[in-house]
Structure 1
Amino acid sequence: MSSDDSQTEQKSVMTYVPVYQKDEWKRHAERLGMSQSEFVRTMVQAGRSDFEVPDRYGETEDSEVDDDAEGRKGEFEERVLSTLSATDHRSWDELLEALTDDIEDRLDETLQDLQASNRVQYSGRHGGYSLASGASGGDDGR
């Protein structure tokens, strides 16, 4: 197989999500003019790369350079550099843990705020969180 083939070859990835989440993703994909597969691929890459989601024509909402995004990139680079040392080596997993240590606290705080404002609800019976009746998931693609 040539290196060009490895860039275009596709593999299937399967995951399971609650029905309400799949329905939400389907509606969002339709709004963006994307297939569900394209939507999931784009969202995963967006989460990994912190970039704006392009519309069906490859345009982002703001095609100009986003100074805030550049600032976040610089801040993150500084966090990576400060986590590393010239004498000790850190594995990928150690770096990931060091750089994401506050994500659980941030998620917990955000979910508490959203529940307090009746935008999200938790159901032990259904085993998770969902949008509260009448709440919007946001239309900005993030």
Structure 2
Amino acid sequence: MNATGTNQARPQGLLNARNTLLVGIGNNSRADDGLGWAFLDALENWPDFEGDIEYRYQLQVEDAPLIANYDSVVFIDAYQGALPEGFRWEVCQPAARFEFSTHALSPGSVLFLCQDLYQASPAAFTLAVAGDEWGLKEGLSVRAQANLQHALHSFRELIT
């Protein structure tokens, strides 16, 4: 996930509704690549969050009709690199960029397909959480665990 740019934003007031979808992207068998899933796992015990959650190894074309049914969507993924707070919120913009294969799409590409094919424009955000370790291993690194807690704290402030 690219967490650089000028679209940094916290989605104040948009995330605690039944028509909100959180999409955790990653692989919990590859250490910190599982940060997106770990974020969703933590929400299972939160009575404050009223939206839906979906786990994904990667985003695909088939995710466009899914997000078309929501007013707001957050894509949560691990980030390789340092972030000042250990995480970063960004506004997700539609992006008509496609690679050779459509087996893995960016959040912006899925949002573009959602708008183009289904005429739906949910408010969309990405939440990048910084990690350190990417090898085959279950569990998060110490730094990733700390960054996850900071990201969860930020999310809790947004929904309560």
The two structures share one fold, judged by TM-score above 0.5: no
TM-score (normalised: structure 2): 0.25
Structure number with greater CO (CA < 8 Å, separation at least 6) is: 2
Select the structure that is richer in strand.
2
